Amino acid sequence: MTTARSLTIPLPDDWHLHLRSGEMMRAVLPWTTRHFGRAIVMPNLDPPVVTRADAVRYHSEITAALPDGVTFQPLMTLYMTERTEPGDVRAAFEAGDAVAVKLYPAGATTNSAAGVHDIETIYPVLETMEEIGMPFLVHGEVVDPDVDIFDREAVFIEKKLIPIRARFPALKIVFEHLTTSDGVEYVLSCDAYTAATITPHHLVINRNAMLVGGIKPHYYCLPVAKRERHRLALIEAATSGDARFFLGTDSAPHLDSAKESACGCAGIFNVANALGIVAQVFENKNALDHLEAFTSRNGPAFYDLPVSERSMTLIRHELPVPLPDKVDTARGRITIFDPKMDVYWDVGDVD
């Protein structure tokens, strides 16, 4: 028997994560802290994390729930509303209470009702963010009912992102959870002020996986998975080593009862499997030498943070590894993303 291969990389960070709150947060948090040193924590709670004071409260809730002896740094974000005050955003950033502000176009996704209708109302906040170097995280989908759901990302680029970029050339923008070749091409056409997160699931599933042979509610997320050629463009981008692309799991837990429903909600819970899956995608593309750029280096560079001094060893097994499939909570089960592909990589030691 040949010995298993291994790969040691700086401890990864998750640049897009939904931790929720209360019991749900306590159930999912240990899965993140096992594999990630830091995470950008999304603010779409109900009610959302809008002000600096909200972010401080949410941060203490998370740190109070950390398992004993665990070192994990939640990086807090503010939820952009049409009433967000530039002074509050500046104070939050300067104190380290929030590292970024997230745009949810109103109605685009889970808990986005308090989001932005008219993008021009937030221009004063964007002006401040450009000045202080605070990243603007964008859920890049239009919500116009006339626009087909599979076109919403591409239309967002034309209608919203290009004008924002033209108006604020030095604003740091992260195009969150890219799902299209249009998004990849847009980011590649930009300078270093624009970056993008890519999720493990969008590297693995296309829209057929979600819809052919029966509808798979656990593959439903927003932005929705697109055609195969888009998935292939995302793999090219993620595995290229280009500094503008980094890992954001967009792990978004919902109870199975909420997903397996006549109106199932959007979100895929994947942190438990994320790194093995991503390593497998990189191996399949012969790009393991670029894995640490995607998981551990490009994100901190964009956010002006140091690369983790800790390390993680990934183990390449001889046989596919069994993947965890669910998390049980007091209120019910949460299904873990099943990539339906052989994954030979597993997380080993974290130092």
Q: Match 């873990």 to its residue by tokens.
A: 336
Both tokens of 278, joined, read 């991503």
Residues 227-286 that bind ligand NCD (CB under 6 A): 250, 252, 266-267
Helix (H) or strand (E) holding 61: helix 52-64
Q: Is 75 in the site for ligand NCD (CB under 6 A)?
A: no
Active site residue 289: no
Q: How far is the CB of 130 from ligand NCD (least distance, A)?
A: 24
Active-site residue identified among 242, 250, 338, 346: 250
Longest dimension (CA), the chain: 64
Residues 232-251 that bind Zn ion (CB under 5 A): 250
Q: Match 């697109």 to its residue by tokens.
A: 226
Both tokens of 181, joined, read 């070749």
| C-beta of 14 vs 338, nearer to Zn ion | 14
Could you give the 3-state DSSP secondary structure of residue 92?
A: helix
Q: How far is the CB of 139 from ligand NCD (least distance, A)?
A: 6
d(CA 304, CA 294): 15
DSSP 336: B
Q: Which of 26, 38, 52, 139 binds ligand NCD (CB under 6 A)?
A: 139
Q: Is 14 in the site for ligand NCD (CB under 6 A)?
A: no
**Site string (87-126) toward ligand NCD, x via CB under 6 A:** ----------------------xx----------------
Q: Is 222 in the site for ligand NCD (CB under 6 A)?
A: yes
Q: Which of 122, 221, 272, 288 binds ligand NCD (CB under 6 A)?
A: 221
From the list 285, 267, 275, the residue with the least C-alpha distance to 343 is 275
Residue 148 burial class via C-beta count within 10 angstroms: exposed 0-12, middle 13-18, buried 19 and up: exposed
Q: How far is the CB of 199 from ligand NCD (least distance, A)?
A: 8
C-alpha dihedral over 13, 192, 223, 266, to 10 degrees? 30
Neighbour count for residue 83 (Cβ, 10 Å): 11
| C-beta of 44 vs 298, nearer to ligand NCD | 44
Could you give the 3-state DSSP secondary structure of residue 345?
A: strand
Residues 32-51 that bind ligand NCD (CB under 6 A): 44
| C-beta of 37 vs 223, nearer to Zn ion | 223
Could you give the 3-state DSSP secondary structure of residue 297?
A: helix
Q: Which does 266 bind (CB under 5 to 8 A by kind): Zn ion, ligand NCD, none?
A: ligand NCD
Residues that bind ligand NCD (CB under 6 A): 18, 44, 109-110, 139, 221-222, 250, 252, 266-267
Residues that bind Zn ion (CB under 5 A): 250
Q: List the catalytic residues.
A: 250
